[in-house]
Amino acid sequence: MFKRLPDLAAFHPDARALAVTIDGKPFAARAGDTVAATLFAAGLADCRTTPVLGSARGPFCMMGVCFDCLVVIDGQPNQQGCMIPVGEGMRIQRQQGARAVAAAAGPADGMTPEAQP
């Protein structure tokens, strides 16, 4: 499905290996690649599952339009893998279902329920 071009190094002489983890496993990513391209290079076609049915989804458009490439990067969920360059030491996790949402302490505007119109 995904195969690197053999002459790509000629166009990117600074293409060096970067140490990252994908789902807790070490992987040597390449400088200049996006997180989504790194997942493809690691042999992973899917990067998330849908919240309702748990269907596997993978990068589709590779230009930030479809949101099928959402991943957890360094603990931050819902990151578009196709738009973020891979970096040294990055921790990438494929996102499973909906992200966890913290419980709200109160109304968003800080008003008490009695004071709201």
Helix/strand/coil for 22: strand
Q: How far is CA 57 from CA 23, 33, 42, in A?
A: 16, 20, 16
Predicted TM-score (pTM) of this structure: 0.76
Q: Is residue 74 part of a domain?
A: yes
Specify the higher pLDDT residue, 27 or 106.
27
Residue 19 has pLDDT above 90, yes or no: yes
CB 58 within 8 A of CB 80: no
Q: Is residue 59 part of a domain?
A: yes
What mean pLDDT comes out for the span 85-93? 97
CATH number of the domain that residue 79 is part of: 3.10.20.440
Average pLDDT, the chain: 83
Q: How many domains does the chain have?
A: 1
What mean pLDDT comes out for the span 105-117? 54
Q: Is residue 67 part of a domain?
A: yes
Cβ within 8 Å of residue 81, ≥6 positions away: 34, 35, 36, 39, 47, 59, 69, 70, 71, 73, 92
Residue 99 has pLDDT above 70, yes or no: no
Q: Is residue 3 part of a domain?
A: no
What mean pLDDT comes out for the span 58-78? 93
Res 31: pLDDT: 86
For 57, the domain range is 17-94
Residue 100 has pLDDT above 60, yes or no: yes
Q: Is residue 5 part of a domain?
A: no
